[in-house]
Amino acid sequence: MLPDDEDDKRLMGLVAGGDDDALRLLVHRHHARLVGFLRGEVGSQATAEELAMEVFIRLHRAAARWRPEAKLSTYLIHIAHNLVLNEWRRRGRKPTTALEFAPEPGDVSQGSARRVAELDEAFRRAILQLAPEQRTAILLVVQQELSYEDIAEIMDAPVSSVKTWIHRARARLRELLKDFHDQA
Amino acid sequence: MNDPELTPFDQELAKMLRRGRSVSVAGFAERVVVAARADRRRRVVVRWSSAIAAAAAVFVALLTLPASSEEALNRQTFALVAQDESAQLADLFGAAADLSLLAPVAERPAVVETFVAPGS
């Protein structure tokens, strides 16, 4: 196990005892990936932050009962996934709101920035058009780089279902992004 | 990644998705700590409220319920029986009922049998 995981365990013990500094450290360590995942899921930065906040509140409440059977990061994504399911139910299974993504500069030249931004938005729109299970599975495997086994645990589903969702998600994305893909 | 075969499209998808993998939010940890403290306080209040409500319910029950409930039940039973007219009638005709029940059991004396059926 990685040192970070061991440190997470130690910090969770402290959080269970009411140590706010330990909670602050855990949030600082894990929130960016969690918000990234949630933003991919719900398509809104504000909603992603609200849900991430709720994830950490639930983690804080469950700290005394938490057993380190899985990595804390996987546990957090598991809670986040359940909250996303509730969010979909609340919205009548329509995950999209107005997209709020801004292109992130850095790895592209100024000349191609516009083209990358268009592609970026097209990809994100396409992701939001996927069936919920497909979207979660593709985000977890590609964006969060989790194993099929971890994804199966997070989604409470067999590994075979996870593989099917990922396969279908790729096929659907290829279809939705055919125009951009052909131009590239 | 688990999939060994990555097409150019898959590579592009991965590149795009990983750009949004990590979204750091300034001041987020502090916001969480403040919310967690508020949540902790709220849960303490709810826990104490429940305990106080339960204690109050027990107190009210002790005040309103009679001290010896068995004795009270006996008194109520006797009062109901005293008010029951059908029970009083049954008491009046009780003896007759007892006799009619006993009648088939009484045997005729042997001498009566002789006079009733002389030919036998």
Whether the predicted pLDDT of B18 surpasses 90: no
> Are A181 and B12 inside 8 Å of each other by CB?
yes
**Residues in A touching B14 (Cβ below 8 Å):** 142
Q: Given the structure tokens 């499209």, which residue do they identify? A: B9
Q: Tell me how far apart the alpha carbons of residues A134 and B11 are, in angstroms, rounded to a whole number.
A: 18
Q: According to the model, what pLDDT value does residue A140 have? A: 94
pLDDT digits (tens, 9 = 90+) for A134-178: 999 999 999 888 999 999 999 999 999 999 999 999 999 999 888
Given A48, A101, A170, which is nearest B10 (Cβ)?
A170
Q: How confident is the model at residue A65 (pLDDT cuts 50, 70, 90)?
A: confident
**Residues in B touching A127 (Cβ below 8 Å):** 17
Q: According to the model, what pLDDT value does residue A99 have? A: 44
| Mean pLDDT value of segment B3-24 | 79
Q: Tell me how far apart the alpha carbons of residues A144 and A138 are, in angstroms, rounded to a whole number.
A: 9
Comparing A12-16, A111-115, B22-26, the range with the smallest average pLDDT is A111-115
| Mean pLDDT value of segment B25-33 | 93
Q: CATH number for A102-184: choose from 2.60.40.1180, 3.40.50.10380, 1.10.10.10, 3.30.1490.20.
A: 1.10.10.10
CATH hierarchy code of domain A1-100? 1.10.1740.10
Is the interface score ipTM higher than 0.85?
no
Chain A interface includes B39 (CB < 8 A): yes
Dihedral (Cα; A122, A123, A128, A132), 10-degree rounding: 160
Domain coordinates in residue numbering, chain A: 1-100, 102-184
Q: CB–CB of A80/A55 below 8 Å?
A: yes
Percentage of chain B surpassing pLDDT 70? Answer: 62
B80 vs chain A: nearest CA distance in angstroms? 56
Query: What is the reported pTM?
Result: 0.67
Q: According to the model, what pLDDT value does residue B116 have? A: 59
